[in-house]
């Protein structure tokens, strides 16, 4: 039994891994599949907008932009995987359906609030024309004069997020060739994202290889974005942030893919955490140099195919994924970025990790996300173009527009209860069974030793109670004589 206990202690972890692998793999009809298809959570998106309060003074007098952070404007989300199709290579293809519902009770303001923000379509067009022929820039200035297009627009929060008619986009729809037209008719930072997305995702189910569980195999049928100069930078193989391969350690580098990030974002271990339901986990955050310039981190050169100059320290140039609009991504309040970016404007408080750092808490054994806050800021890199009078006084500046906090605070109680059971039960069972077998083996050994001791004692008593008789010399001689054969009579007579 003790030997069995030792063997069990060795093979039990392997048995538990086999069970976990089977249970978390995506199989149609399983509980895990149901949670993955329609997550039993209600994520919240918090939106913060930088309202420009001195647009005229900035344009006419060269004053620093004065910004007032408005929000949060809170949206409740529902996520669902639709158009699901299992493939023969242990992958599954699907589309993501996200529904956003504004929550006035949780928000600090209304969707009808008016805000003044940079005119993204216009400033994108003028920045792109910086290196074009001069007559094209002059023509653009005349068109903007006729259409009364200005560098800043006043729109509602709802319009800024979900779309409004822009005269420049409307003009482009009529004059730009069909194969070069933008895929939308309105401008909005989240335009087209409320509903079923058009992108096809193909991820590994984990059935054949658990180490790839939840990782993206293809995005719209491609293994890469097609934007960056190396396979390492261009790959789409990352998680969507909800599930990861199991058996995560503190040395694991988690990878998240989001097409709006225009890259796979690495995450590294930061600290141990305990989430709702007393479920332990690891917190992962982006490394401090994730948006560093190639001057500091040479491996980042692949994200700057046209540089130098490259994106400023702490920002990421996502223009190739945003129809060449000069969009720079950063963390909120320019967290981990060059301080001069924040100092170029007035009204943004110093960044704080607790409020502005992106993080994900995961359960390391099963790779399930327990809690997450995806925090990203959208900025516009504006260039001065002297031939376009509307922006002739506009300095080169990274203009912050908006930042988002998207994620979940906790999982439902029924999910955390099962997770807690799955975490606690295997070691308890292993300890109990191994200990039980060891104890039984110990008593069996003691019993066996006791039996051997009693048997030896009985044998000794048997020898002592039946001693061999002591024989005299006379008895020995008599015995010897009795055993000898009598003499042959014939031989005696002859003699």
Q: Please tell me whether residue 471 adopts helix, strand or coil conformation.
A: coil
How many whole angstroms separate alpha carbon 233 and alpha carbon 317? 13
Which pLDDT score, from 0 to 100, does residue 70 have?
98
CB hemisphere CA count around 215 (13 angstroms): 19
Backbone conformation region of residue 151, classed left if phi is above 0, alpha if psi is from -120 to 50, else beta: alpha
Which pLDDT score, from 0 to 100, does residue 453 have?
64
Query: Where does 383-435 show beta strands of DSSP type E?
Result: 397-408
How many whole angstroms separate alpha carbon 310 and alpha carbon 260? 19
Which pLDDT score, from 0 to 100, does residue 15 have?
64
Backbone conformation region of residue 166, classed left if phi is above 0, alpha if psi is from -120 to 50, else beta: beta
Which phi and psi angles does 242 have, rounded to 5°? -100, -35
How many whole angstroms separate alpha carbon 27 and alpha carbon 110? 43
Omega of the bond leading into 308 within 30 degrees of 0 (cis): yes
Which pLDDT score, from 0 to 100, does residue 479 have?
46
What is the model's pTM? 0.84
Q: Please tell me whether residue 106 adopts helix, strand or coil conformation.
A: coil
Q: Which residues contact 334 (CB under 8 A, 6 or more apart)?
A: 314, 315, 341, 342, 348, 351, 377, 400
CA dihedral for 445, 446, 451, 456, sign (positive or negative): positive
Q: For residue 163, what is the DSSP state?
A: -
How many whole angstroms separate alpha carbon 49 and alpha carbon 84? 36
How many whole angstroms separate alpha carbon 486 and alpha carbon 479? 14
Which pLDDT score, from 0 to 100, does residue 392 have?
82
Tokens 């009808």 correspond to what residue? 112
Q: What is the pLDDT along the chain (495 residues), one digit of tens a residue?
A: 545 545 555 565 566 667 677 878 899 888 889 989 999 999 999 999 999 999 999 988 889 999 999 999 999 999 999 999 999 999 999 999 999 999 999 999 999 999 999 999 999 888 888 777 788 888 888 888 888 899 999 999 999 999 999 888 877 776 665 555 566 778 999 999 999 999 999 999 999 999 999 999 999 999 999 999 899 999 999 999 889 999 999 999 999 998 889 999 999 999 999 988 888 999 999 999 999 988 899 989 999 987 778 899 999 999 988 888 899 999 999 999 999 999 999 999 999 999 999 999 999 988 999 999 999 999 999 888 888 888 888 888 999 999 999 999 988 887 777 777 666 655 554 455 544 544 555 445 565 555 666 666 666 665 555 555 555 545 555 545 544 545 544 444 443
How many whole angstroms separate alpha carbon 452 and alpha carbon 38? 65
Backbone conformation region of residue 278, classed left if phi is above 0, alpha if psi is from -120 to 50, else beta: left
396, 33 in Cβ contact below 8 A?
A: no
E strand or H helix at 187, and its extent? Answer: strand 186-187
How many whole angstroms separate alpha carbon 101 and alpha carbon 76? 5
How many whole angstroms separate alpha carbon 227 and alpha carbon 408? 31
Q: For residue 311, what is the DSSP state?
A: P
Bridge partners of 94, per DSSP, are 201
261, 376 in Cβ contact below 8 A?
A: yes
219, 190 in Cβ contact below 8 A?
A: no
Measured N-to-C along each axis, helices 167-175 and 134-147 cross at an angle, to the nearest 10 degrees, of 120
Tokens coding 272: 């141990």
Which pLDDT score, from 0 to 100, does residue 275 have?
87
């Amino acid at each position: 039994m003790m030997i069995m206990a030792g063997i069990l202690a060795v093979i039990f972890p392997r048995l538990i891994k086999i069970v976990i692998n089977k249970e978390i793999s995506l199989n149609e009809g399983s509980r895990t599949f149901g949670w993955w298809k329609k997550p039993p959570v209600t994520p919240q998106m918090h939106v913060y907008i930088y309202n420009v309060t001195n647009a005229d003074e900035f344009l006419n007098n060269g004053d620093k932009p004065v910004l007032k952070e408005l929000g949060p404007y809170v949206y409740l989300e529902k996520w669902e995987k639709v158009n699901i199709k299992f493939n023969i290579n242990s992958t599954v293809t699907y589309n993501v359906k996200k529904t956003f519902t504004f929550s006035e009770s949780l928000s600090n303001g209304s969707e009808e609030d008016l805000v003044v923000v940079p005119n993204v379509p216009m400033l994108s067009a003028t920045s792109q024309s910086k290196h074009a022929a001069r007559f094209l820039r002059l023509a653009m200035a005349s068109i903007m004069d006729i259409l009364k297009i200005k560098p800043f627009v006043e729109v509602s929060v709802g319009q800024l997020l979900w779309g409004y008619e822009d005269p420049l986009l409307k003009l482009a729809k009529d004059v730009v060739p069909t194969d070069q037209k933008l895929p939308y008719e309105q401008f909005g930072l989240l335009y087209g994202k409320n509903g079923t997305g058009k992108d096809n995702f193909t991820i590994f189910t984990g059935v054949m290889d658990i180490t790839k569980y939840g990782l993206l195999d293809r995005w719209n049928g491609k293994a890469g974005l097609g934007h960056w100069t190396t396979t390492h930078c261009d790959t789409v193989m990352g998680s969507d942030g909800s599930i990861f391969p199991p058996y995560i350690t503190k040395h694991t580098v988690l990878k998240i893919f989001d097409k709006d990030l225009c890259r796979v974002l690495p995450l590294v271990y930061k600290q141990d955490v305990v989430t709702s339901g007393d479920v332990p986990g690891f917190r992962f955050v982006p490394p401090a140099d994730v948006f560093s310039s190639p001057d500091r981190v040479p491996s980042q050169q692949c994200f700057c195919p046209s540089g130098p100059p490259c994106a400023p320290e702490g920002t990421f140039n996502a223009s190739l994924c945003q129809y060449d609009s000069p969009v720079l991504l950063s963390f909120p309040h320019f967290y981990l970025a060059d301080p001069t970016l924040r100092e170029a404007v007035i009204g943004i408080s110093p960044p704080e990790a607790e409020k502005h750092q992106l993080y994900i808490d995961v359960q390391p054994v099963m790779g399930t996300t327990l809690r997450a806050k995806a925090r990203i800021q959208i900025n516009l890199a504006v260039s001065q173009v002297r031939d376009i009078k509307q922006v002739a006084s506009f300095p080169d500046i990274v203009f912050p527009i908006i930042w988002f906090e998207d994620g979940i605070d906790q999982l439902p109680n029924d999910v955390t209860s099962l997770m807690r059971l799955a975490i606690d039960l295997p070691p308890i069972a292993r300890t109990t069974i191994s200990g039980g077998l060891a104890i039984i083996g110990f008593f069996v050994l003691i019993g066996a030793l006791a039996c051997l001791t009693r048997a030896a004692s009985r044998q000794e008593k048997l020898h002592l109670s039946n001693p061999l008789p002591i024989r005299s010399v006379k008895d020995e001689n008599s015995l010897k004589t009795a055993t000898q054969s009598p003499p042959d009579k014939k031989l005696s007579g002859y003699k």
